[in-house]
Amino acid sequence: MNLKIWLKAIRAPFLTATIVPVLLGTAVAWNDINRFNLVYFFLTLFSVLFAHMGTNLANDYFDHKTGNDEANLNPTPFSGGSRVIQDKLLPASSILKASLFSFGIGSLLGLYLVFKLGYIVLLLGVIGVFLGFFYTATPLKLGYTGIGEFQTLRFSSEVILISIPIGLLIAMVLWINEFPDYEADAKVGKNTSVIKLGKRKALIVYHLALCLVYVWVMAGVLFKTFPIFTLLILLTFPIFLKTLKITKQNYEKIYELLPANATTIMLHLSIGIFLTVAYLID
């Protein structure tokens, strides 16, 4: 087994999208109840990481079956799938098996948490696995209907409120990654939100969402909902401005837009880390 190929298949660099919210949720909980369980932390982390890997692999398999990735003549490091099937590095059947295996491991870890912590964890886990698999899997293919970008949140008011900027950021990572796939998605009827809105309107949504992240956190501090240390995210403002400039100038292009794909991921990662640190300091 070639580890490098499998790391490419699971799109390992993008797993930060899962790591960041787990870290932030843990920090908020620790800040709230002054208690931390290392075992539950790692069980939660690896459970959702395996679910994320299963989602990425299922996405590759079913986008291959529909011809979506084959129709993409301009794949990038941020879009068009991992390309391990198209480049004949791994057979499609192995990708499907690995997806089901990953979902299985993640589910088993989640079931242990259900046993220890209660059935609300089961509800969250079932929803997560269902949405992850059927994002591209038949018959639902949620990602082909334009509703695949929606996110689910969780219960305590502070957790919900502080999760919104992180949810917006990862949604915008997916959003901007759909721009290079525009032509390929349109060919196979994958009606993402970017397809439905058109690139110009989709860019406005993207810019408004990024602006809302900063406004939301500053408002949270103003109304004493978030710790003042969450204003550390203002240190990322130069990256934000750079992202706005790149996307405004290059949203109709593919390769010239790639730096914005990277800076959006950087915003999600850095803002997530700053918010986590803010709650730990507080």
Averaged pLDDT for residues 75-86 = 88
49 with 130: CB under 8 angstroms? no
Averaged pLDDT for residues 111-124 = 80
Q: Predicted confidence band at 139 (pLDDT cuts at 50, 70, 90)?
A: low
Q: How many domains does the chain have?
A: 1
pTM comes to 0.84
Q: How far apart are CA 44 and CA 20, in angstroms?
A: 12
Q: Predicted confidence band at 154 (pLDDT cuts at 50, 70, 90)?
A: very low
179 with 192: CB under 8 angstroms? no
Averaged pLDDT for residues 157-186 = 90
| Cα–Cα separations (whole angstroms), residue 242 to 20, 224, 237, 266 | 22, 30, 9, 12
pLDDT, averaged across the chain: 88
Averaged pLDDT for residues 249-259 = 94
Q: How far apart are CA 104 and CA 9, in angstroms?
A: 17
271 or 148, greater pLDDT: 271
User: What residue type is assigned to position 146 of the chain?
Assistant: G
Residue 150: give the domain boundaries.
3-281
